[in-house]
Amino acid sequence: MYERFIFYGGICQFIVGLVEMFCGNTFGATVFCSYGALNLSYGALFLPALGVTAAYTVDGVLSPQYSQAVGLFLWCWFVVTMLTTVLTRSLQFVIGALRSSVAILSTLVFVALAFATLGTAEFTGSDAARISGGAFSICAAICAYWGAVSGFYGKDGAGATFHSLNVPAVSLGYSQV
């Protein structure tokens, strides 16, 4: 049943990304559309109708190649979250979040750590890595709720105020001296 929730969450995130695009927030649009597509594809791995897990099942047991493929998938998303895009010369999501709040930055850092540890758990079968990946995911969810509540109840919010810490300004520009 959870695979349907992951798939549904991906659709919702993708729609939010489209709304962010119409509002002019390209960073939010990129993040929501990208992670919406991630949730769609990750949820699709587990949907019985698509038969991905059935293709990797031999005599009722998942083959080791399945765990390796899922681990590689998660590590690729770790790289997408943390590293640079060479073609555009701009840093991806985590560095892009330096221009926003601590809540968004910490959410993306915890998401990246969750991808790394859950990918490692898929590669190695380590329960400790799986548990730490779950802990990082819970921390990411708490930070995401902090960002959402601070956006909703910010200085323009409905009566109550909830402050978000802003990341100090960092110059990412290139200058010739």
Spatial contact of 81 and 118, defined as CB atoms under 8 Å apart? no
Mean predicted lDDT score pLDDT of the chain: 79
Higher pLDDT, 2 or 124: 124
- Tell me the chain's radius of gyration from C-alpha atoms: 18
**β partners of residue 62:** 57
Distance of CA 94 to the CA centre of its chain: 10
Mean pLDDT, residues 157-170:
54
**Whether the predicted pLDDT of 150 surpasses 90:** no
pLDDT in tens, 6-54: 778 888 889 999 998 998 888 788 888 988 998 888 888 888 888 888 8
Residue 134 has a pLDDT of 94
**pTM for the structure as a whole:** 0.75
CA atoms within 13 A on the CB side of 24: 0
Lowest-confidence region among 1-5, 72-76, 86-90, 127-131: 86-90
CA terminus-to-terminus distance, the chain: 59
**β partners of residue 90:** 85
Long-range CB pairs of 11-18, under 8 A, 24+ apart, other chains included:
11/36, 11/40, 12/36, 13/39, 14/40
CA atoms within 13 A on the CB side of 8: 5
Residue 70 has a pLDDT of 92
**Whether the predicted pLDDT of 86 surpasses 90:** no
* Confidence at 85, pLDDT banded by 50, 70, 90: very low
Residue 88 has a pLDDT of 34
Residue 156 has a pLDDT of 61
